[in-house]
Each structure stands twice: as structure tokens, then as C-alpha cells.
Structure 1
């Protein structure tokens, strides 16, 4: 993951800089579990009740938490649940895709406060930066003026080697080569002083699922995100594992064979660009797959064989991943309507029964819960994690 130098952020939640470990611990417990009484926070964290009380008073003073209504009906003092204030912190998440760019402003609860989306034939660096600059201004204006200093930073999610594989998406190499040495931090600094955190888009999607989605149900799991190309992530002990180069879970590079039996990678056999090609062959506009709101009606004759093929590929890929790490589950999400996601998961479950799983424990195959927003939402998680939460596997100290 690439990082910029973190700039000083005035006022509000950030006036004390990075939170200390115990503050992060309590904020993380509230983020993962929802509002909890101070006594529960002390028990789970291992901190003394007095220490927890002092920290909660400071967090409340800083506008990071809210106290709920007292819970009565038990012997002793009423229990007062304490949870994150959704207005305690915000972050921008920018997703740069091969077919679209998206920007959202996320609050401390992980809810988008505003979103902007633009479809394109290919991502042009200057056009994307123009979109980001205008989008930051437009989305910041949605917040009350007194809250705007609580924006923690800008997370950017983009495909690893964004300039690669132009042939698969019908784009010239020249159109993408501007990304090869693009300095996100320096370019964004021209119009925003916020810190910038850059990571692989599929890793960002995995992070969104782990922090705000069904990923909280599982300790260790493999994650697949089906976009124009397919990618993924790895979660170990409730944290996204990034690897030595920030590229762990590069599921799209798993070896397989294409329909002709030639060596290929999973990106060649289980990605949405294959469905685009089916639409094009049928004389339909493949851009329809990327328009919002979703409307894939009437495409069943093209979608069904694509689902069958991708289901088989992902069943084999799931077995391969579980041969390396004993994952309890494999989560699958993608840039498509929820009904397509459910149908794909059903196909994978069925096809996994045809895979030779000797020596392996069959994992649960489950649908992710975030959907198309996962990459932008996961990008927005990074500034929040860097300043406020605990993420043991991440390298989130700005360079």
C-alpha cells in the first residue's frame, strides 16, 4: 500500500492526532460490536473500569462517541451503552475502475453520506483527478460547516497494475500508460491537504466486507470480488492480510485453463469482461452492465452460461485457496445486482461438490454483503483505520 505524509488536521476529532492504543482498542470494540456498556468494554478489553471510564470521558469530549439511554431492570446502577458517533469522523473513498470511477463520503458508522459515479471507456488520469477534485467539493458541502474538519483523509482503490491487460478490455496501451508512474499523493495535494492512502481495489473491497459487512462473522476467510477483472483478499484473525507487497489475495492471478484448454489465469475465465464480450457478440451495448441503477433484465440467455462458467471456475479457485490456508469460509461479491450475486454463490456451492477436496475441509461459500460500493467503501476505511482503529496486519503508518 502506498501512503502520503499525513498532514495536520485542525480541530474536531483529529486535534489530538493519532489516538493512543487503548482509545483505539475501545473504538474498535464499539465498531465491531455496536454500543456496549462501560463494564462490558472493560471486561472484553482487559482494561480496568476506571481506565475505561477515563478514556470514554475523553472520547465523548472529542465528539467520537455517544451515550445511549440507560438500560434498567437489573440489580445495581443502570447500564449505559456507549457507541460510535456517526459524525465523529468521515473519510472519502475513491474507486478507480476500468469501466467507471466512484467517489463516496463515509461516516464513522461506515454509511455513505453521498456518492458520485461516472462511467468511462477507460480511466484517464487527469479526468479522474478532475472528477475527484469536483467530487470532494460537492460531497464536503453536504456536511455542516462545523463538521468538515472531521474528514480524516482520502482512500484510493485502484487495480494492481492499472495499465496492464489493455487487450482484455479493448483499450490501447497508450490510453493507460499514464498510470504506470502516477503519484497519487503529489497530484491530489494540488487541491486537497488531506492524507492519501492507496491500495489494490480488490483488497479494499475485502476490507469493506471485513469492517462493515459479513466478514465480521468469520475469523479467517478468502474473498473474491468479480469486477471487470476478478480480484480478492485474505482475512486472518479478523484482519485483512496485505502481504509483503500489499498484493496478498491476488486471486485473479490463480492459474487455470481457458475454454480451449490453454494455460490462463482466473482473470481470463471468471471476470465481467467476458460477459461484456457476450453482449457485444449479441449486438448489445456492453456499457449497459455498468449503468446505474442496475438493469440487467432481458439478458438471462447471456448471463446464465456466464454464471455456469464462473461458478465452476470459482469452485476450483476456492479449493485452491483452502489448500494453502485452512479458511472457514469463502466470501464472494461483485459489481453486479444482488440477485446475480446470489445466483453465482449458488452455482459455486453446487460445483464445489464436483471438486476433489481430499485432504481439505470444505469451506462455507457465502455471499458478500456490500456489493458494488465495496471498493470505494473499503478505500474510505483506510483513513479511519489509520487514525482511530486497530488493524494488526495493516501497514497504515503514512510514509
Structure 2
């Protein structure tokens, strides 16, 4: 078959566009969808009727007002599909079950000091069947797959993670994607954890209103994802917006010796590992950032000092990013109490506005909407994103293979 669009691919793409708009608007009539997609009313009617027959959309009441008959409203059917999400982190493992609307139906979390691959696989073996069992037989047939969100180079930072060389070597030698895939009788989709969180924000957060943004997640390290024209932009190697190694000016505050290059990596100034270590230096004995709310009053001054340094580093990184990318917004999220995220966002917004050159457009700086769950929800969204997002590559193919980024 020659390369190029065909009627089958076009129909599939239009179905995805329709679902994307319904997810964005929550509810919409066929007339609303025709205006939003620039398709004819007849085409919209055929597509929506098919989606309803396939139980991916449901009728959600009627809109009264104006002349003529009331309009029937449609919405995503929560029971139309399900997915399982796994987040493998440097300090924790999370699993969840999502319905098609993005609602969490069940969730597990395990914390640890070291990310041991054997322990992680054992927990997946134990917990994933338990999550699946929460669906009846009919719903289990609608499971679209398992999405795994994890750092690409988990064993590559032994000194930063306080990881012993043996464990680091095990991570470099194990093919975790293969280990997980052979355990599960469903399609398995892998994505960098920051990029997966960006997909979650695109589908369920600010992406409903903004289609071009840089997403930044401050976790044990700092990571992110790039969204352009309403689609995740993975880059040539699937590593776009991997911010941890981005060079920023050296800071003396946290005791890092000045590197020969004269630059720190962004993760040394804008990460929760750096915050935890700084708090430990100041006598705040937390072993995991999840304990922070219990120490807020005692740690407030030191948190503020970390935020001040973090904001300066982020501004430098963002100045570099927006000099290359003309973005509508930069989204910042973290596994931190909400008021700290909002204060950090405000600090970055003020400093960026005062530092940017006159020939650069300043993007909006906004807090993410998903908080600590962004990455695991992103994992759960991956099967939906692969199957239902308005990806124009479906126009070029007679059939669409599973997208499994590894």
C-alpha cells in the first residue's frame, strides 16, 4: 500500500478528534462537535452514532434554549474502556486502575529507600491482578492495556540516588520492559515518567485549555514533557524535555563543589532529593518527601530557602527553553503540598517576567492539576492515548500498530 492518507485512516482519525473534543468539553452536542472539528453535520452524526454504538460515548441529557428541538448532549462513557497504570520511581512504586473518563478506581503505593528491580517486579505480580479483579468480566474485556511510566536511566545516577554499585549495575543489565511485558497478557506501553505525566496533564489537566506547553515535574529528580499542537512531542530518542541534566549556574547553597564546567545540573538545584538532603542537614530528619507535611512548621524557613534557589534555577532553564520554543505555557507540578507548588509558581512567574528579553514572548507559568498522582495517572493514560488520541499518524496507515515506546 502506498504511503498516504486513506478513507479508513481518515475515519479513524476523525473518531479520535471527536473523543478528544468530548474529553476537553466534558459534554457537547453534535452541532458543537461539527463547529469544533469543521466536519459536516452528517459526518459528525455518523461518527458519534458509531461511538455510541461501541459504548465509547453516552448521552448526557439535553440542552434547552433557543429555537428548535433541544440538543442531545454526549460525553465520554466512563465504562467504555479501562486501563492499568504503573509508575516506577526512584523512591516509590504506584499502580492504579482508571476508567475511560480518567477516574481512579483503585490504587496502591509502595515506598522504599532503594529501587530494587526484583522487589518491584514482585509487587507488580501481586498487585496488578488485585486491581484487575475489581472489574467484572464484561469490564475486563474492555481493558485497553497497561501503561508504565518510569525514568529511562534509573541506574545511571548511583551517587545522586545513594545507590550502591551492585544495584546500579543490575538496573543497567535488566530489560525491565521485557520482564513486565512477559508477565501481562495485555498490550504494555512504556514512556518516560515526565513525558507520561505531561500526557496526563494534556488529557485531564491544563491540556483541556492549552495545547502547547512545557510540562515540568519536580520529583526525586526533575523531569518533564513537551506538548506541541495538542500532541506529546517525544523527540528523536523519546527523551524530549528530559530536564535533569540541563546546565544551570552553580549554587553554593547546598554544598555541592563547583564542577569544572562551572555549571550545575538542574536536578542538583530543583529536585526533591536536594530538598530532603538540605532539610536533613538542618536537622529535619525525614527519610522520604512524603513525610514533609508532618514537619511543615519546623521546616518552613529551610523550604523557603530551597524554593528561592530552585526558582532561580528554573528561571535560567526556562529562559533557555523559551528562546527555542515559542510556548503558550509552562506547567510546574511536584509531589509537594499544594500551597508550596502555588508559591513556587508565583516566584518563577515574577522572576521570569523580569528577566526575559523584549523580543521573547513570556509564557504563562501555571501549576499542574494532578499533583503527586501525575506520573502514575500518566501511565494509566498511555493505553488510552495510544488508542484514542488525535494522532495524525493514523492518516498514513491502513492499520494502526500498538505504540510501545521503550
Q: Same fold (TM over 0.5)?
A: yes
Change beyond 3 A, Cα 1:47–1:182: farther
How many Å separate the matches in 1 of 2:164 and 2:271?
A: 19
- Write out aligned runs for 1:87-106 (5 A): 87-106=79-98
Q: CA deviation at 1:367?
A: 1.0
* Residues 325-363 of structure 1, C-alpha deviations (whole Å, 9 max, x = no match): 111221111111111101111221232245252431222
Partner of 2:367: 367
Q: What are structure 2's unaligned runs of at least 5 residues? A: 1-10, 253-257, 395-399
* Residues 218-274 of structure 1, C-alpha deviations (whole Å, 9 max, x = no match): 232222110111111211112221111111112222111322453221111111111
Residue 245 (structure 2) pairs with residue 253 (structure 1): yes
Q: Which runs of 4+ in 1 moved over 6 A?
A: 393-396
Residue 220 (structure 2) pairs with residue 197 (structure 1): no
Partner of 1:220: 212
- Write out aligned runs for 1:20-169 (5 A): 20-169=12-161
Q: What are structure 1's unaligned runs of at least 5 residues? A: 1-18
**In terms of mean alpha carbon deviation, does 332-341 or 349-358 score higher?**
349-358
How many Å separate the matches in 2 of 1:167 and 1:47?
A: 55
Q: Please tell me whether the aligned partners of residues 288 and 295 of structure 1 are also in contact (alpha carbons under 8 angstroms).
A: no
* Residues 2-44 of structure 1, C-alpha deviations (whole Å, 9 max, x = no match): xxxxxxxxxxxxxxxxx92232222122112221111222232
Change beyond 3 A, Cα 1:305–1:240: same
Partner of 1:297: 296
- What do you get for the CA RMSD once the two structures are aligned? 2.2
Partner of 2:8: none
Change beyond 3 A, Cα 1:356–1:76: closer
Partner-residue secondary structure (3-state), 1:332: strand
Q: TM-score, normalised by structure 1?
A: 0.89
Change beyond 3 A, Cα 1:295–1:155: farther
How many Å separate the matches in 1 of 2:173 and 2:66?
A: 62
Q: TM-score, normalised by structure 2?
A: 0.88
Partner-residue secondary structure (3-state), 1:76: coil
Change beyond 3 A, Cα 1:199–1:274: same
Partner-residue secondary structure (3-state), 1:70: strand
Between the two proteins, the alignment pairs up a number of residues equal to 380
Change beyond 3 A, Cα 1:112–1:203: same
How many Å separate the matches in 2 of 1:302 and 1:266?
A: 19
Partner of 2:265: 265
Change beyond 3 A, Cα 1:275–1:185: closer
Q: Please tell me whether the aligned partners of residues 249 and 313 of structure 2 are also in contact (alpha carbons under 8 angstroms).
A: no
How many Å separate the matches in 1 of 2:226 and 2:215?
A: 6
How many Å separate the matches in 1 of 2:249 and 2:393?
A: 33
Partner-residue secondary structure (3-state), 2:107: strand
Change beyond 3 A, Cα 1:358–1:23: closer
How many Å separate the matches in 2 of 1:281 and 1:233?
A: 32
Residue 403 (structure 2) pairs with residue 398 (structure 1): yes
- Write out aligned runs for 1:326-337 (5 A): 326-337=326-337
Q: Please tell me whether the aligned partners of residues 102 and 116 of structure 1 are also in contact (alpha carbons under 8 angstroms).
A: yes
